[in-house]
Amino acid sequence: MDDTVLVEGRGPVARVTLNRPALRNAFNDEVIARLTQAFEALGADDAVRVIVLAAEGPAFCAGADLNWMRRMADYSHADNLADAAALARMLRVMDTCPKPTVARVQGDVYAGGMGLVACCDIAVAVQGAGFCLSEVKLGLVPATIGPYVVRAMGLRAARRYMLTAERFDAAEALRLGLVHEVVAPERLDERVEVIARALAANGPQALATCKRLLRDIETAPLDDALVERTVRMIADVRASAEGREGVQAFLHKRKPGWLPQAEAVPPTAPTQG
The catalytic residue positions are 135
SS (H, E, C) the chain: CCCCEEEECCCCEEEEEECCHHHCCCECHHHHHHHHHHHHHHHCCCCCCEEEEEECCCEEECCECHHHHHHHCCCCHHHHHHHHHHHHHHHHHHHCCCCCEEEEECCEEECHHHHHHHHCCEEEEECCCEEECCHHHHCCCCCCCHHHHHHHHCHHHHHHHHHHCCEEEHHHHHHHCCCCEEECHHHHHHHHHHHHHHHHCCCHHHHHHHHHHHHHHHHCCCCHHHHHHHHHHHHHHHHCHHHHHHHHHHHCCCCCCCCCCCCCCCCCCCCCC
* Dist CA 13 CA 204 (whole Å): 12
SS (H, E, C) 125-187: EECCCEEECCHHHHCCCCCCCHHHHHHHHCHHHHHHHHHHCCEEEHHHHHHHCCCCEEECHHH
